[in-house]
């Protein structure tokens, strides 16, 4: 018998796969242009130069800008840059990376 729940699950999975592959195909057109990365939504531990470089490479960006809480930054968009947001984790006593995004 036909199960609509299974069909919905299949359609959702297929659309996610297609969206993911289209992101990587678009990213290959321009070398160094920042592209969305699923790592943007993963909290990373201590903010180190190695972590910043890992994020830059995962986004395929040429540049990286580390933005710390409480500091002011320009709002211009740069398609070849990844922005990394860093905040102090008082319970751990060191800065942590909260997210990274293109711009």
> In this structure, what token pair is assigned to residue 18?
């297609």
Average pLDDT over residues 55-75: 90
Cα–Cα distances (Å) from 18 to 33, 73, 103, in that order, read 21, 35, 24
**Residues 48, 8 share a domain:** no
Pair 42, 60: CB distance under 8 Å: no
Q: Is 84 left (phi over 0), alpha (psi -120 to 50) or beta?
A: beta
Q: How many domains does the chain have?
A: 2
> What SS3 class is residue 2?
coil
pTM: 0.60
Q: What are the φ/ψ torsions at residue 16 (nearest 5 degrees)?
A: -65, -40
Whole-number mean pLDDT of the chain? 74
Q: Determine the structural domain holding residue 10 and report its residue range.
A: 1-30
Averaged over 8-13, what is the pLDDT?
53
Q: How much is the pLDDT for 79?
A: 92
């Amino acid at each position: 018998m036909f199960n609509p729940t299974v069909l919905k699950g299949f359609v959702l999975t297929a659309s996610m796969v297609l969206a993911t592959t289209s992101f990587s195909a678009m990213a290959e057109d321009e070398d160094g242009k920042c592209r969305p990365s699923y790592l943007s939504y993963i909290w990373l531990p201590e903010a180190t130069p190695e972590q910043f470089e890992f994020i830059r490479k995962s986004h395929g960006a040429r540049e990286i800008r580390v933005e710390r809480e409480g500091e002011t930054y320009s709002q211009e968009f740069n398609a070849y840059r990844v922005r990394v947001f860093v905040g102090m984790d008082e319970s751990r006593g060191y800065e942590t990376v909260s997210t990274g995004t293109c711009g």
